[in-house]
Amino acid sequence: MIGARLKVARAASGLSLRQLADRIGGLVTAQAIGKYERNEDMPSSRVLIALSAALNVSEEYLLSDDDLVLESVEFRKKAHSSREEATIEARTIQLLERYLAVEDLLKMRSVDWEKPRSAPYPVADMRDAEDAARSVREDWGLGNDPIPKLAELLEERGIKILSLNLDDIDGLAAKVRRKDRPAARVIVIKKDTYSERKRFNLAHELGHMVMAPGEDVDAEKAAHRFASAFLMPADAIRAEVGVNRSSISIAELAALKARFGASIQAIAYRCKDLGIISQPAFSQLYKIFTSRGWRSPPYQEPDAIPAAYEEPKRFERLCYRALAENVIGEARAAELLGISVRDLDARLDQGAA
């Protein structure tokens, strides 16, 4: 049945029923499209071709019955409207369908994520969130070293990382249910933002995945503490900064930013949480951050880590692999990547140069 796929494709395009009807030149009415989405009617082949062209998806996509459903969706920031949230969720489903499709084509089994052995970790206070981060690092054999590419690490552990152009949210995390398959895990990050922000958001969402906060625990604060501890282990920070400081300079925080891939503000907060600096010293730093505009959009600190640094690349690599192994042709590879065949050829030529 076409209903679920059509509704997802329309939502991903941000179109209302009436707008989609207009886009196909009034070939059918908005009411007719609504009936297609409710599976009360089926479009003719002519209308199906028009709908697929208007929504920039294939006819095969609209007719497929392998539907994905997002569950336990958590937005990193609340979107302004339910329609905006629906659009983001639909775009996530479309991208994830392509991702899982190319894995299937390559006969890869990576839907199950490598959950740490003791997860979910019960969290009664912030110290438990700290311990949870330490346990995940131990289970995954990470030690106390800084993590150079967090998106790559999480994808190696079976979590699908997607990057989208987003406006008012930093991303989302969700379980993804697929027919006759185990649930997948997905994290969506904001494409056009600094990588130190992406890294914190990725670690934050990982915290939500592995912790089970008690009723009296603020889940967001616990995930923040987890993210800080995961990116900046206590022993590593103390080795760099010391156990107790009366103050810390912006220049030193900037140097630590280069080492840990976290924002200057996050590092200052971490030093306060660990008792390395006092609350008054921390407050003084935040006055400086505010005066320099670092706490307001676009949140640009000095030495910002480029957005491309934490861009997930595994899906793109899998598409190139499937093409190289003749599992798919150029047209299918371009469709999966959401680009034209001409753009694909340009990428392939650039890689061969």
pLDDT per position as a tens digit, 140-169: 999 999 999 999 999 999 999 999 988 878
- What's the confidence (pLDDT) of residue 184? 82
Distance CA 237, CA 146 (A): 10
Taking the alpha carbons at both ends of the chain, their separation in whole angstroms is 45
Structure tokens belonging to residue 37: 């989405």
Pairing of strands 184-190, 171-178: antiparallel
Counted residue by residue, the chain has a size of: 353
pTM: 0.84
Query: Which of these, 235, 271, 257, lies nearest to 309 by C-alpha position?
Result: 257
pLDDT score for 284: 96
Q: Which residues of the chain have pLDDT under 70?
A: 65-66, 78-80, 109-112, 180, 351-353
- Owner of token pair 């924002």: 263
Distance of alpha carbon 233 from alpha carbon 260, whole angstroms: 10
Amino acid type, 118: S
> Could you check whether the bond before residue 213 is cis, i.e. omega within 30 degrees of 0?
no
pLDDT digits (tens, 9 = 90+) for 214-240: 999 999 999 999 999 999 999 999 999
